[in-house]
Amino acid sequence: MWAYARANPDFVSDFDQVWAAARGLWTGRDPYKLVGPRGAFLWKWPLYYPLPAILIASPLGLLPLIAARVTFAAISAGSFAYALSRDGYARLLSLLSISFVTAVELVQWSPLLTAGMLLPSLAWTGVAKPNLGAAMAAYWSSRLTVIVMAIGSAALVAVSFLVQPNWAGEWWANVRSAPHFVAPILRPGGILLLVVLAKWRRPEARLLAALACVPQTPTFYDHVFVFVVPRTSREVLALVVLTFAVYFAVAFASPFTSFQQWGDFVAAATILFVYAPAVIMVLRRPNEGEAPRALAWLAARVVPGSRERA
């Protein structure tokens, strides 16, 4: 990240808006007025992050921009690698994916949030992106993890209202104005991803179903979440290659006439090359695992044959 910034001084990362908002908090400025098309910190879109995300990044607002990028990218990537390697090293091959490389290059949150999904101590980071936080929660079976997320998120939200009581209304107005936040199930073919619920006891099945249902920006970097699905090095490498398939499909289809057209193509390619293969991986596994009690109770009453297994 440091070398890239030195070689490309005009480069702007996705984290820059968060850094500017965090810097604004230290000087008592409203981040939702500071960042945006008409703000002092010019940004193409309004600030879509909730204030708890800005609070998480607030210590980095005291650093110069490049140092803040490097620090956030390093912490996120390191946490991601550690979380993936806790049960073996096969999934570390996901560091070769275009998803991970893009996430680091753009200094995105997805590696940190994926780590938060696998490490209970970081579960509270899900509040930074509530849509992806909902998908993270679907993955969990541990009551401890849910408690950590609930307490940590509640504390951050409470502090956010103390710092700026009106932030929620401003943030929600910005989010509602975003036309590119679309759930994959609303895209062509996306509804078919829900077939993965046939393996609802498996946490990776619930994760994929949740990712299909939550509104998302069409990107390369949020594919990082899907790398919790593969179990063997062969599955990981297959998914790595398929992330490059998305990248090159978009490259060969360019140029696009609008951001909307670009986003629609990226979303379609993601469903075809990333989500669908991950669903196939899960469907090949038995419907086994420690499901949340509430989900097991519900399944025992509505799914034939589940009562005996619940």
Residue 302: pLDDT band (50, 70, 90) is low
Q: What is the reported pLDDT for 184?
A: 94
For the entire predicted model, the pTM comes to 0.91
Tell me the average pLDDT across 115-141.
93
d(CA 70, CA 4): 10
- The pLDDT assigned to 178 comes to 83
How confident is the model at residue 272, as a pLDDT? 95
User: Which residues does 206 contact at the CB level (< 8 Å), separation at least 6?
Assistant: 138, 139, 197, 200, 291, 295
pLDDT per residue over 240-273, tens digit each? 999 999 999 999 998 999 888 999 999 999 999 9
pLDDT mean over 24-32: 95
- 147-161 residue pLDDT tens: 999 999 999 999 999
Residue 295 is predicted with a pLDDT of 55
Label each residue of the chain as H, E or C: CHHHHHHCCCCCCCHHHHHHHHHHHHCCCCHHHHEECCCCEECCCCCCCCHHHHHHHHHHHHCCHHHHHHHHHHHHHHHHHHHHHHHCCHHHHHHHCHHHHHHHHCCCCHHHHHHHHHCHHHHHHHHHCHHHHHHHHHHCCCHHHHHHHHHHHHHHHHHHHHHCCCHHHHHHHHHHCCCCCECHHHCCCHHHHHHHHHHCCCHHHHHHHHHHHCCECCCCHHHHHHHHCCCCHHHHHHHHHHHHHHHHHHHHHCCCCCHHHHHHHHHHHHHHHHHHHHHHHHHCCCCCCCCCHHHHHHHHHHCCCCCCCC
Residue 299 burial (CB count, 10 A): 20
- Taking the CA atoms of residue 296, residue 224, residue 230 and residue 279 in that order, the dihedral angle to the nearest 10 degrees is 60
**91: how many CB neighbours lie within 10 A of its CB?**
25
pLDDT band at 293 (very low <50, low <70, confident <90, very high): low
Contact of 175 with 200, CB cutoff 8 Å: no
What pLDDT band is residue 289 in, cutting at 50, 70 and 90?
confident
Per-residue pLDDT band for 67 (boundaries 50, 70, 90) equals very high
Instruction: Output the six-digit token pair for 309.
Output: 């297994």
